[in-house]
Structure 1
Amino acid sequence: MDKLNKSSMYQMIVIILMQTMLLLFMATWKEIDLFGISYDKLLNIVIFVVVGLSLLSLIVVKEIYKVIEYETEFKIQQIKLEENKRLIQTLRSQKHDFLNHLQTIYGMVQLNKQDKVKEYIKSLNNDLSEIKFTSDGLSNSILDSILIPKKLEAIKQGVSFTYKVERGVEDVDFPLDKLFRIVSNLVDNAIDAMEGFNGKKEIRLIGKNNGDNYHLSVYNIGPIIEEELQHQIFEPGFSTKGDGRGFGLHIIKSLIEEREGKLELKSEAGFGTEFTCILKKK
Structure 2
Amino acid sequence: MAFITEVMIMNILSIFASLFVFQIWLERSSHIRYAKTKAIFGFSAISILWCMVFPLDKFDSFILDLRQVPIIIGSLYGGPIVAVGLFLLTLIARYIFFGADGYLTFLLMYLLLTPILIYFSRKFLQLTLKRKIIRSTMVSLGFSLFILVIITLFNSSHLDANLLLKLVIFPPVSMGMIIYIVEIVLNNYHLRQELIKSEKLAVISHLAASISHEVRNPLTASRGFMQLLQQGYTSPEKMRTFLDIAIKELDRAEGIIQDYLTFAKPAEDKKEAINVSSEIKKIVEILQPLANMNSVELDFSLAPYMVFGERSKFKQCVINVAKNAIEAMPEGGKLSLHIERKGDYVYLNVSDTGVGMTKEQVDRLGEPFFTTREKGTGLGMMVVYSIVDSFGGKVKVKSEKGLGTTFTILLPMYKNAVEVIG
Using the size of structure 2 for normalisation, the TM-score is 0.35
Greater per-residue helix proportion: 2
Q: Distance in 1 between matches of 2:307 and 2:285?
A: 21
Distance 1:194 1:180, change over 3 A: same
Give 1:23's aligned residue: none
Amino acid at match of 1:265: V
- Does the CA contact (< 8 Å) of 2:344 and 2:412 recur in 1? yes
Give 1:146's aligned residue: 283
Distance 1:244 1:159, change over 3 A: closer
Give 1:215's aligned residue: 347
- Does the CA contact (< 8 Å) of 1:256 and 1:262 recur in 2? yes
Q: Distance in 1 between matches of 2:303 and 2:195?
A: 47
SS at match of 2:279: coil
Q: Distance in 2 between matches of 1:276 and 1:150?
A: 19
For residues 81-92 of structure 1, the aligned pairs below 5 Å read 82-83=257-258
Q: C-alpha offsets along residues 237-274 of structure 1, whole Å, 9 cap, x if unaligned?
A: 11233576012112111211122210000002575200
Q: Does 1:178 align with 2:309?
A: no
Q: Does 1:238 align with 2:382?
A: no
Q: C-alpha offsets along residues 153-194 of structure 1, whole Å, 9 cap, x if unaligned?
A: 2012111111112110xx202211011001110110011111
Alpha-carbon distance, 1:68 to partner:
5.6
* Counterpart pick for 1:229 among 350, 357, 361: 361
Bigger RCO of structures 1 and 2 (CA < 8 A, at least 6 apart): 1
SS at match of 2:335: strand
Q: How many residues align?
A: 164
- Does the CA contact (< 8 Å) of 1:167 and 1:209 recur in 2? no
Q: Distance in 1 between matches of 2:392 and 2:277?
A: 27
Which consecutive unaligned segments of at least 5 residues does structure 1 have? 1-62, 87-138
Distance 1:84 1:275, change over 3 A: closer
Q: Does 1:155 align with 2:292?
A: yes
SS at match of 1:82: helix
Alpha-carbon distance, 1:80 to partner:
7.9
The structure number with the bigger radius of gyration is 2
Q: Distance in 2 between matches of 1:84 and 1:66?
A: 19
Distance 1:243 1:65, change over 3 A: farther
Alpha-carbon distance, 1:210 to partner:
2.7
| RMSD (Å), alpha carbons | 3.4
For residues 164-175 of structure 1, the aligned pairs below 5 Å read 164-168=301-305, 171-175=306-310
Q: Distance in 2 between matches of 1:153 and 1:243?
A: 17
Q: Does 1:73 align with 2:204?
A: yes
* Counterpart pick for 2:390 among 255, 258, 264: 258
Which consecutive unaligned segments of at least 5 residues does structure 2 have? 1-193, 212-253, 262-275, 415-422
